[in-house]
Amino acid sequence: MTFTVLMAIVVVLYALASLLAMRSLVKPAATLASPQHRMLLLALVSSLVFHGILLKLQIFTDEGINLSFGYAMSLVMWVITLLYLVTGLFSRATNIGAVILPLDVVTLIIVIFLPSNTFIASGSPLLHLHIAIALLAYSLLALAGVQALFVNSQEKALHKHQARQINLHLPPLEAMESLLFNLLWGGFILLSLTLISGIFFS
C-alpha cells in the first residue's frame, strides 16, 4: 500500500468521523461507548489505527527518525485524537471531537505540501522517552485549550440564561471544568518532566 493510498484512507476516515462528531452536537451528551456514538467510535478507532500505521512508515525509517515539522504536527494530532478517544470513553465531553477531528483532516492535507526530510539520529531509549513525554505534554495542553473553549461557551450561556438549551448537548459545567483542570494538571506535570529530562540532552 503506497503512502498516497494510505494517506487518502486516513483523510476519508477522519472526514467521516468529523461529520459524525458534528452530528453528535445536536444529541444529548453521552460517552463514546454509548450506543448513539457507535458509528463515531468505529470511525475514530479506524482513523487512529490507519493514521498510526502511516506515522510509523513516515517517521521510523532506515535513515533514522524523520521528525520533520509536518510529520511532528501529524504525530501531535494523532496523540491529541487518541487522548480524545480515551477521555471520551469515560466522560461525556465528546463534543470536542467536532473541533479536533476536522483539524486532523486539515493537518494531513497540510503535511502533503511540507518538506519531509528532517532526520535525527536514532539515539538512546531515554531520548525517545524525552520526545514522547514532550509530545504527550503538548497534546494534553492542546486538548485542554479546546476543552476551555467549550467551558467558556457554557459559562456565557449561563450568563445569558440559555443554560437549558446548551446543557442538553453538553455535560454539566462542573464535569467540564473538572476535566479541564485534569488535562491542565497532566500537561503541566508532563511539561515539567520534559524540561527536566531535556537538561540531559541539551
pLDDT in tens, 153-190: 777 777 766 555 555 556 666 777 787 888 888 888 88
Distance CA(196)–CA(202), nearest Å, equals 11
Give yes or no for residue 44 having a pLDDT over 90. Answer: yes
H/E stretch holding 22 reads helix 3-23
Listed residue (85, 99, 77) closest to 25, CA to CA = 99
Q: What is the pLDDT of residue 120?
A: 64
Q: Three cell numbers at 53?
A: 500505521
CB 191 within 8 A of CB 198: no
Sheet containing 119-120: order of strands: 60-61, 64-66, 119-120
In terms of pLDDT, which residue wins out, 116 or 52?
A: 52
The pLDDT mean for the chain works out to 81
CB–CB of 72/8 below 8 Å? Answer: no
Q: Which residues contact 109 (CB under 8 A, 6 or more apart)?
A: 11
